[in-house]
Amino acid sequence: MNMLAEIEAARPLALIGLPPHRLSVVVPMYNEIDNAQPLIDAVHGALAAYPHPWELIVVDDGSRDGTGAALQAHAATVGPHIRVLRLLRNFRQTAAMQAGIDAARGDVIVTMDGDLQNDPRDIPLLVHKLLNEPYDLVAGWRKNRQDGFALRKFPSMLANRLIRRITSLRFQDLGCSLKAFRAPVLRQVRLYGEMHRFIPAWMATVTSPDRMAEVAVSHHARTAGESKYGISRTFRVLVDLLAVYFFLNFGSRPGHFFGALGLAVGAAGTAILGYLGVLKLLGESVGGRPLLSLGFFCVIGGLQFLCTGVLAELLIRIYYDGTHAQQYHTMPNAQVGDNDAWHV
């Protein structure tokens, strides 16, 4: 049995044994007027037999082609469980996704793209695994991806391999937008910039990678509208990856990062100046040597890195103290015992 046949066979079974919950499906859209009505119909059809309450939140990210009006008009004919959230301008996909997450009322939140390349019939597969196993995130894996190789699949393969190496996450397809989350855990992460590509990495700052999983899902070729992505996104991924690496490893201790740089650069500068000092004592002229300038600037640079580390530590302490944010997050329902009980 091939992969698509296995997915088709598993879909009906995924509706059986789902624990009680409320489901919110969040879909950001930008200039997708041709997909506006088909998307609502596809999600509604896929979840028509869903055994628990659900809602669809479609976020119009400042579209200029009439997508927002088309979504509102069709949603009004389907039912009040189809909610359309329109942003004032194009804030890009991450902000649109965060807006939908903020508006979601469900215990489980599922995100997906609005171009209909993700199949909403796969939503129960992800939710079933999420709720019946100890996971906080279940992501889709487009094993049979229907995209061009040169501009989409090959750059994605390289990016996924690099991300796996840096973040130590075992995901095969971090770029798939079809993901299911436990809402309380997802709400502990705020999405900024272009962070939607690295949601599993950011989730790893509040939960264990062992509580994340991946499920093979179907993928369709785009039949309407135009892709909003190109080869340029590869460079944005590289820049974002630096931020991910920093926050994963030094988000709560930035002084260690800047301190290590400061000590390394300062030590190099001190060694250079020490070497030139010995030469000066031996009677050689060092005033015109480029090494003198290099050693001087290395020492100054090292001091600046150290000062930056101290300031970063002060800022992170103010952040945690002022906002009551936590550097740790406990597992849901993991506490045993009564907080008010004492052994006497």
* 46-97 tens-digit pLDDT: 999 899 999 999 999 989 989 999 999 999 999 899 999 999 888 888 888 9
**Are 122 and 231 members of one domain?**
yes
Q: Give percent above pLDDT 90 in the chain.
A: 38
pLDDT at res. 132: 93
pLDDT at res. 341: 43
**Are 266 and 223 members of one domain?**
no
pLDDT at res. 335: 46
pLDDT at res. 192: 76
Round to whole Å and give the CA distance between 339 and 230.
53
3-7 — which CB contacts under 8 Å span 24+ positions? 3/143, 3/144, 3/216, 4/144, 4/218, 6/216, 7/122, 7/125, 7/216, 7/217, 7/218
Say if 222 falls within a structural domain. yes
**Are 232 and 260 members of one domain?**
no
The kind and range of the H/E element at 216 are strand 212-216
CATH number at residue 33: 3.90.550.10
pLDDT-derived band at 158 (thresholds 50, 70, 90) equals low
Check: pTM over 0.85? Answer yes or no.
Answer: no
Which residue in 15, 205, 207, 42 sits closest to 112, CA to CA? 42
The DSSP bridge pattern shows strands 54-60 and 23-29 to be parallel
Over residues 10-27, the mean pLDDT reads 87
Residue type present at position 86: R
Say if 38 falls within a structural domain. yes
Domain that holds residue 47: 3-249
Output the CA–CA distances (angstroms, integers) from residue 193 to 46, 95, 110, 208, 236, in the order listed.
Answer: 31, 7, 20, 23, 10
pLDDT at res. 53: 93
Q: Which of 220, 249, 278 lies at the terminal end of a domain, its last residue?
A: 249
What total number of domains does the chain contain?
A: 2
Output the CA–CA distances (angstroms, integers) from residue 122 to 125, 179, 202, in the order listed.
Answer: 5, 10, 24
Say if residue 109's pLDDT is above 50. Answer: yes
